[in-house]
Structure 1
Amino acid sequence: MEPSPCRLPELEAARPHMEARASCPAAAPLVERQFHVLVGVTGSVAALKLPLLVSRLLDIPGLEVAVVTTERAKHFYTPQDVPVTLYSDADEWEMWKRRSDPVLHIDLRKWADLMLVAPLDANTLGKVASGICDNLLTCVIRAWDRSKPLLFCPAMNTAMWEHPITAQQVGQLKAFGYVEIPCVAKKLVCGDQEQGRSHTE
C-alpha cells in the first residue's frame, strides 16, 4: 500500500555531474548554481511514479535533480524513463577502489541542498528510524547534514501503516528534524480503499 504525489516547494532541474568528481563541490568557483534535489526511492509500488515525479521536478526552473534508488525499487520503474542520473548500491563500490577515492554517499550528501525520499516504504522507514545504513540510500540519510531539509513520503499498505510501530518510527524521523509529507486515503494496489498511498501517486 502506498501514499501519493509529493508536494515540493517550487524549485528546478538538470542532471548532476558527480561521476567525474574527485572531491566535494565546496571548492567550485563562485558562480550562480542550480538548487540540487536528491530524490530517494524505495521498494514501494508508489515507485511506479518516479518518472512522473522527476519530470515534475524538472519543470521547476533552477533545479538539478539526481536519484538514489534501492535495489527493490528498481522492480517498479524503467531506468530509461528517468531522465536524470540514477545512483544505486553498485555505484558506491565502483567509485571507491582505494583510500583516496571519493565516497559516493558522502559526495551525494554534500551535493544535495534538499533530499526527498518518495516513496518511503515500511522497510526503509524502520531502517532509518533505527540508524541502519546497509545500502547507498540509507548511508546518505545516515550521513545527512541536518541543517538541510529532508522530506519523506511514507507509502505502505494500510495494515502496515496502522501498526503501532509505524507511528513511533515516523515520530523518530520527525525528531531527527525530517519533514513528513503525509500519505493520503485512496484505492490501494491491493484493492483496499484506505489510508496509505503516497503523495507521489
Structure 2
Amino acid sequence: MARVLLGVTGSVAALRTPELVQALRAAGHAVQVLATEAALYFFDPASVPPGAFPWMGQSWPVLTDEQEWPGRQQGRRYQRGDPVLHIELRRWAELLLIAPLDAHTLAKLATGLCDNCLTCVWRAWDWTRPVVLAPAMNTLMWEHPFTCRHLRVLGLAAGIADLPEDGDPLPLLERINACSRVLRVVPPQVKALACGDIGIGAMADVAAICQTVNDLAGS
C-alpha cells in the first residue's frame, strides 16, 4: 500500500475526516492529515490518531500551517538548513489525496496560488506520483463556469490535451479519469446538502474515495 498525505479543506464534508482516515488505514495505507485552517472548523484534530509522518521529533494527528512555521509566534526565525515542511511532506508522500476539496482551494490549485502548506505541497508535487481529488461544494458553486475551467487546468497539468473550458464538469471528469495515469477526480454526489439545498456537490462516499486510492496505489 501507499504513504498517503490526506489534505483536508474547508468544506462541511471535512466532518468525515476521522472516518476517511480510519478507512484508509484499514486498507493498509500509512496516512498523514494536513488541514487548512478553515477545515479545522469542522472536525477536532484530537479525533484523529497520530499520523505516519514524523515532524519535529513527534507524530502529529493533523499538521497545519502552524507546523510549517515552527516557533514563529515566539519570535523564532528560519535558520539555513532547517527542514521545510511542504517539501518534506512531498518527499514522504507516495500519493496525495485532497478530500474534501472545496471551491476555494480548487481555484488556488488551478491558478498556482500557494499561500498555505497544502497548496505549497500541490505546487511542489512530483507528477510521477498519483493525486486523488474529491470535490465538495454547494450545487450552484459546482455548476459555476469556473469549476469546469479550474478542473480543465488540473487536467492539463496532468498532461491531458483538448479539454473543454465550459459546460458540465462531469463529462470533463470522465475524460480526465480515463486519460490520466496519475490524476483521479472522484465526482461529487447528489443528495441533501448541509446547507439545506438538494443537488450535486456532496463529497463522494468514503468507500468510493478509498477504492480510487487503492486503484492508483496499486498501479
TM range (shorter): 0.7 to 0.9
1:36 corresponds to: 3
Identify which of 197, 200, 204 aligns with 1:195.
200
1:97 deviates by 2.6
C-alpha distance in 2, partners of 1:130/1:77? 28
* Amino acid corresponding to residue 58 of structure 1 in structure 2: R
Give how far 1:49 is off: 0.3
Corresponding position of 2:88? 107
Task: Tell me, yes or no, if structure 1 residue 82 matches structure 2 residue 48.
Answer: yes
Aligned residues: 167
1:88 corresponds to which letter in structure 2?
Answer: T
Once the two structures are superposed, residues 69-102 of structure 1 have per-residue CA deviations (whole angstroms, 9 ceiling, x without a partner) of 0000000001111113311001011177311111
CA contact under 8 A between 1:46 and 1:200: conserved in structure 2?
Answer: no
SS in structure 1 opposite 2:195? coil
Q: Which whole-Å CA distance do the structure 1 matches of 2:102 and 2:198 have between them? A: 19
Unaligned runs of 5+ in 2: 52-60, 72-76, 159-182, 207-219
Matched, 1:92 2:68: yes
Instruction: Give the alignment's Cα RMSD to 1 decimal.
Output: 1.3
Which ranges of structure 1 fall in alignment gaps of 5 or more residues? 1-10, 12-34
Residues 200 and 104 from structure 1, CA distance in 2 versus in 1: closer, same or farther, beyond 3 angstroms? farther
Note the 1:115-130 alignment, pairs <5 A: 115-130=96-111
Distance in 1 of aligned mates of 2:5 and 2:187: 19
Q: Identity over the aligned pairs, expressed in percent?
A: 49
Higher relative contact order (CA 8 A, sep 6+): 1
Structure-2 change in CA distance of 1:106 and 1:200 (3 Å): farther
Superposition pairs of residues 1-201 of structure 1, within 5 angstroms: 11=1, 35-61=2-28, 63-83=29-49, 84=51, 85-94=61-70, 97-177=78-158, 178-200=183-205
Distance 1:77 1:200 in 2: 17
Q: What's the offset of the Cα at 1:51? A: 0.4
Task: For residue 145 of structure 1, report the CA deviation from its aligned partner.
Answer: 0.4
Quote the offset at 1:155 in angstroms.
0.5
**Local SS of the residue matching 2:69:** helix
Runs of 4+, deviation exceeding 4 Å: none
For normalisation by structure 2, the TM-score amounts to: 0.74
Quick check: which one's helix share is greater?
2
Check whether the contact 1:119–1:200 (CA below 8 A) recurs between aligned residues.
Answer: no
Q: 46-55 or 173-182: which moved more? A: 173-182
Task: Give TM-score scaled by structure 1 length.
Answer: 0.80
